[in-house]
A and B are shown apart, each in its own frame.
Chain A
Amino acid sequence: QFHLVQSGAEVKKPGASVKVSCKISGYTLTQLSIHWVRQAPGKGLEWMGGFDPEDDETIYAQKFRGRVTMTEDTSTDTAYMELSSLRSEDTAVYYCATIEGSSGWYYFDYWGQGTLVTISS
């Protein structure tokens, strides 16, 4: 059985950083490419970035470049997303997701349960 299990909810102050984890079970991280999508309360889905296996690099959405870092620890099959300089607009549920597809065309097939990050002074 394949699962993505994310870390628990976080409350952060404006200007701080948050690091969300996504642990893989049932596969090894080296077999997967992980992306991150967030969802503000009552809003839609917003892609933040992820690993492109076609070009073997991590791609970030322009909106988050300079503030987000996505890393992986293959020894524990855990992916991480760190977002810095947090502001109130970053309050959202953050999801990790695996991609499927080929030739650079990918959709999101499995999702973690989500991690609520609340920014509050």
Chain B
Amino acid sequence: EVVMTQSPATLSVSPGERATLSCRASQSVGTNLAWYQQKPGQAPRLLIYDTSARATGVPARFSGSGSGTDFTLTISSLQSEDFAVYYCHQYTNWPPFTFGPGTKVDVK
């Protein structure tokens, strides 16, 4: 099973600032890595797939990068609606699909 880790667990950022979230896989997953955003009481929402492709309707301030075992989600200028929990997900080696434990982005 591919174990996903994310850092930091919590990221405190001021609106307008840049946020950089990290995700690491226990073995190479190539570029089969997705990011999801989840707000309280809501289902996860797909943001990024194939490491760097933005899902439909996702603003350009969200970008993804990386390959192999190390990945990054960058939010270039945080808006109020971006405060949420972000999960990474690998889909190279399954079953099982595995997710990281999440990074909570909150207001500094």
20 A/B residue pairs, CB under 8 Å, sorted by A: A44-B87, A44-B99, A44-B101, A44-B102, A45-B44, A47-B94, A59-B94, A59-B95, A61-B95, A62-B95, A100-B49, A106-B91, A107-B91, A108-B44, A109-B55, A110-B46, A111-B44, A112-B43, A113-B43, A114-B43
A86-121 interface mask toward B, CB cutoff 8 Å, 1 = contact, 0 = none? 000000000100001100011111111110000000
Q: Which residue of B lies closest to A99 (CB)?
A: B91
Known: A45-B44, A111-B44, A112-B43. A105 touches B95 (CB 8 A): no
A-B contact count (CB 8 A): 60
| Shortest beta-carbon distance from B35 to chain A in Å | 9
A46 within 8 A of B: yes
Residues of A bordering B, CB below 8 Å: 35, 37, 44-47, 49, 59-63, 95, 100-101, 105-114
CA distance A49 to B102 in the complex (A): 20
CB neighbours of B45 from chain A (8 A)? 111
- Given the known A-B contacts A44-B101, A46-B99, A61-B95, are A107 and B34 also in contact in the complex, defined by CB atoms under 8 Å? yes
- A95 CA to B46 CA, complexed, in Å: 14
Contacts of A108 in B (CB 8 A): 34, 36, 44, 46, 89
CB distance from B68 to the nearest CB of A (A): 15
Q: How many residues of B contact A (CB 8 A)?
A: 23
Give the dominant DSSP class at B's interface: loop
Instruction: Give B74-104 as 1s and 0s: 1 = Cβ < 8 Å from A's Cβ atoms.
Output: 0000000000000101011011111111100
For residue A60, which residues in chain B have a CB less than 8 angstroms away from its CB? 95
CB-CB < 8 A to B95: which residues of A?
47, 49, 59-62
Q: Which 4 residue pairs of A and B lie closest in terms of their CB atoms, listed nearest first?
A: A111-B43, A107-B34, A47-B97, A45-B99
A interface SS class: strand
Of B34, B91, B94, B100, which contacts A44 at CB under 8 A? B100
User: Which chain A residues border B100 with CB–CB below 8 Å?
Assistant: 44
In this complex, the member of A35, A59, A100, A105 whose beta carbon has the largest number of chain B beta carbons within 10 angstroms is A105
